[in-house]
Amino acid sequence: MLRLFVTVLLVSAAVATDFTKCDSGTPPKALAVSGCAKQPCDFKPGARLDVNVTFGVDHKVTKLTPDVKALVLGITTDYPLPQKDGCRALVGASCPLEDGESVTYSLQMNIPPIQIKSDVKLTFTIADDSSKIVTCFKLTGQVA
């Protein structure tokens, strides 16, 4: 019961963020990115970004692997994540996940302290144990 309360509290306390759907994968049911209600987001160099993604699964999932790609100045790069095991970053839930289950994944990432003002396009994916994309979304923003 406490886990459910914490999940509801986190999701309701965060401001919903609009996002762009990916070409593949199911979009999240809800997304909250700290300091960003609509795109383009303003990313402050050196700041911490809190991301909460609520999504559902349509099959049993035993493993979740998050991935973030950043497109900056025409170069796409993998963004290093502090937690490679997505199951450990679930709020009030744990793997395995059952068909039809909805969960919230929580990510904290730091914006690099770059001094160049630039546009950025982020693609967030969470894949299952067979590398099938469970959920995916895109954000645009500006580091300034």
pLDDT in tens, 7-54: 444 444 456 899 999 998 899 999 999 999 999 999 888 889 899 999
CB 103 within 8 A of CB 94: no
What pLDDT digit, counting tens, does each position of 88-141 carry? 999 999 999 999 999 999 999 888 887 778 899 999 999 999 999 999 999 999
**Candidates 3.40.47.10, 3.40.1710.10, 3.30.70.1150, 2.60.40.770; correct CATH number of 2-143?**
2.60.40.770
Residues 6+ apart with CB under 8 A from 6: 91, 92
The token duo for 46 is 């050196």
> pTM of the predicted model, to two decimals?
0.84
Q: Where are the domains of the chain?
A: 2-143
